[in-house]
Structures are given as structure tokens and as C-alpha cells.
Amino acid sequence: MKSLKIRNVSIVSGTNISQQVDSESKTDILILNGKIAQIGHQLKTPIDCDNLDADGWIATPGWIDIQLNGAFGFDFTENPDTIWQAAEELPKLGTTSFLPTIITSPLEVISKAIETLKKGPPAGFKGANALGLHLEGPFLNPLKKGAHNPKYLLKPNPDLVQEWTHSNGVLLVTLASELDEDFQTIRRLRDQGVVVSIGHSLASYEQARSAFQNGIQCGTHLFNAQTGIEHRAPGLSIALLTSREVYTGIIIDGIHAHRAMINLAWSCKGSQRFITVTDAISALGMPPGKYNLGEFEINVTETKVTLNDGTLAGSNITQQKSLRNLMAWTGCSLYEALGTVTTTPSELLKLPNKGGITPGADADLVLVDSDINIKATVVGGKILYRN
């Protein structure tokens, strides 16, 4: 593998992306064999090293999306084999790693998705890293099903998740914990190395807190498809906001949650437990029109994604737009916002080689200007997109 030297770039030093650095301080990054080898000036480089003059751009760690249902016309639940086709296009949006998300569907679809990831990408593949699966369902509460097909919903059962292991490429599972008797399924998944998230749930505040103590580490799309906020019965949303150790994903499009609620969530969770997700469907990167999410037809406008009855069905927002919204609505810095798509998801998923720009880390980088315009995307040391 050829080496790459990125010259004249501003970066965030160390692993703390929320630490703002002087944009006038520019340096070089040397990449060897897909890893960051050195950072500094006057680096000794191989003879055949490629060079990229960053012209003072900001180098951020690669952006991670832990909830992505599809993109560029490809729906992962409808056909898991299209994961690699979408992945080849994602770097142009700044996404370097993602969890292909399979929504509620027959268990055979999940098995096929597992096999697709285990088989790996096709020969000559150049695209974003499909880190592992996010299984959103089928263990969801029917009364909070959202855009999930109710005919495939099941009650949590530890016997059904034996192949849902970290070693099989299942990294994250969303379920309704109040349906899991004695937390047997949650504990089985946890013991198999899977991060378990609570979502599409009617859990009370007390039930949610108990679930956190029994293995739930995250909440799926905060405020959506869960019990709301009521001052005498605080519900799941408040349990997530007030449990400092629990991570939560949130869709920042101004449709799934009012900007005031985004600000509230930021005040409670901060960049350390706040994960920006898109929950994007196959319409991501595509014009408005009709698209699929599993077996359902979805109506997509410039800003909104719904079933025919008006139910929200994911989004078509990019990570770039999400970050801009987060900064505008909370007043956080660029560096704090970037943490929600870099260090924080990598910490949740226990990915020590991602989320930071340090020697030895994976060479996944997004080069942006101060307005988060994407100038170049590097995945595994290769420039896969250049504006």
C-alpha cells in the first residue's frame, strides 16, 4: 500500500476532539499502510509517497454513523448485499465508517445481513468501513413501532439471538427493554459483546433505570418512539437524559425533535455521551421521490421522510448538515460537535483505533474548512473523495 502525506493541515491534537486548537497552527500527517504513522514537521517520507496539500484545512477523525438504514438508492433491509454499493458512495458525504442498520424484518434477513458482512466487500472495493450491524428490531414495542412492520415484531427471546454476536459482526441491537423478561435477552447480547440500546419503547423512568443496571448502554433516537416528558411521570427520555453513564443517539434535523429539545439534550449529555445519528434511509444522497424502507414505500421531500400515513420513517439528512444544526442550535464549538460523530461513537462501540488523530490510529480522516465544507475524505489511508 502506498503512503500518503497530508501537508499544511490544522488538526486536533491527542484523542480529545473537543479540545479546540489554534487554526493557525499547521502541521503534516504521514500515513503508512492505512495507519497514521507520524504527525509533525519535516517528516521523513518514502520515495513513492503521495502528497495532499491541505491548504490549511482542518483534519478531523473519520465520521461514524451508528444508525444508517441505506443511502444512494440502496436499502439495507430490502437487500443487505447493497451495503457495499452504498459504502462506496458514502465518503463523498464525509462518512468513513457506519453501522448498516437492519430494521424489523424476518429473522432470515438478519441472518443474510450477517453473512454479507462476514463475506466481506467485493474485490476492488473502495469505500466507507461497514463496522458491523445495527439491528433495530424485531424486539420493539408494538405501540411504539414507528415505521417498523408490525407483522415481524417479536417478544425478546435469548434463544433467538445466539448468532447475534460481536464476532459475527453484530455491534448494536435496539430493543424495548420492558418486554424482556428478567432482562434475559439483554444479558445474553451483552455477554456476546453486543452493545444494547433501548428504543421504540414504552418503558417508564423506573423501568429504564433498571434496564441500565442490567446491560443497556445507549438510547436510540432520543425523544422519538419512546415515552415523552411529563413532570410526574418522567419516562424514558428523562431517564436517558439524567443517566450520565448512558449514551444516546439523536437525529438533528429539526423534524424529529425541536431545536429546543436538542439544546436540552446537549446540556444534559454534552459531547461525552451525545451521538449524532442520521437514521437516514435509501434516499440519502438522492433527490426527493418515492423510496423503500424494508417493505414500506416512503415519501421523501427535501427535508422530510414519511410513510403514506405521515409517520416519520427515518431521515435524509447528512452528517455535515447535522453538525451544522448542532452548532447553530446549541452554540457548541466545531470541535465539540465533531466529537459526536468521532470519539463518542468510537468509545461506545469500543473502537480504540478510530475517533482520534494519533500515531497508530486508523487513517480515516475528513478534511474540512471552518464551515464544515468537505474538501477530502480519506479511508484507510486512501483518498476516496476530493472536492
Give the integer Cα–Cα distance in Å for 133 and 131: 7
Q: 122, exposed or middle or buried, with CB in 10 Å at 0-12, 13-18, 19+?
A: exposed
Specify the pLDDT at position 271: 81
The total number of residues written for the chain in this structure:
387
* Residues 307 and 270 both lie in one domain: yes
Question: With bands split at pLDDT 50, 70 and 90, how would you rate the model's confidence at 12?
Answer: low
Q: Is residue 29 within 8 Å of 16, Cβ to Cβ?
A: no
- Is the pLDDT assigned to residue 217 strictly greater than 60? yes
- Is the pLDDT assigned to residue 27 strictly greater than 70? yes
What average pLDDT does the segment 203-224 reach?
97
Question: With bands split at pLDDT 50, 70 and 90, how would you rate the model's confidence at 1?
Answer: low
Give the integer Cα–Cα distance in Å for 178 and 321: 34
Amino acid code (one letter) for 79: N
Which CATH number does the domain housing residue 174 bear? Answer: 3.20.20.140
Mean pLDDT over each residue of the chain, to the nearest integer? 94
Render the burial of 199-227: b for 16+ CB within 10 Å, e for the rest.
bbbbbbbebbbbbbeebbbbbbbbbbbbb
Which CATH number does the domain housing residue 43 bear? Answer: 2.30.40.10
* Residues 95 and 229 both lie in one domain: yes
User: Residues 342, 66, 348, CA angle at the centre, nearest 5°?
Assistant: 60
H or E element in which residue 297 lies = strand 296-300
* Residues 96 and 216 both lie in one domain: yes
Identify the CA nearest to 253 among candidates 311, 315, 168, 184: 315
- Is the pLDDT assigned to residue 23 strictly greater than 60? no
Q: What is each CA distance from 151 to 121, 139, 202, in whole angstroms?
A: 32, 12, 19
* Residues 313 and 190 both lie in one domain: yes
The pLDDT tens digits of the residues spanning 78-120 come to: 999 999 999 999 999 999 999 999 999 999 999 999 999 999 9
Specify the pLDDT at position 256: 97
Query: How many structural domains does the chain have?
Result: 2
Please state whether beta strands 50-53 and 365-368 pair in parallel, antiparallel, or not at all (unpaired).
unpaired
Q: Which domain holds residue 142?
A: 63-348
* Residues 221 and 339 both lie in one domain: yes
Specify the pLDDT at position 41: 86
Percentage with pLDDT > 90 across the chain: 88
- Is the pLDDT assigned to residue 20 strictly greater than 50? no
* Residues 226 and 93 both lie in one domain: yes
* Residues 205 and 317 both lie in one domain: yes
Specify the pLDDT at position 55: 87
The pLDDT tens digits of the residues spanning 189-202 come to: 999 999 999 999 99
- Is the pLDDT assigned to residue 14 strictly greater than 90? no
Bridge partner list, 4: 31, 50
* Residues 99 and 76 both lie in one domain: yes
* Residues 53 and 154 both lie in one domain: no
* Residues 188 and 265 both lie in one domain: yes
What predicted TM-score, i.e. pTM, was given to this entire model?
0.95
- Is the pLDDT assigned to residue 19 strictly greater than 70? no
Pick from 16-25, 50-59, 62-71, 118-127: least confident: 16-25
Helix intervals (H) in the chain? 83-89, 107-119, 184-191, 205-213, 235-242, 259-273, 319-330, 334-339, 343-348
* Residues 45 and 153 both lie in one domain: no
The pLDDT tens digits of the residues spanning 284-341 come to: 999 999 999 999 999 999 989 999 999 999 999 999 999 999 999 999 999 899 999 9
- As annotated, the active-site residues are 279
* Residues 183 and 292 both lie in one domain: yes
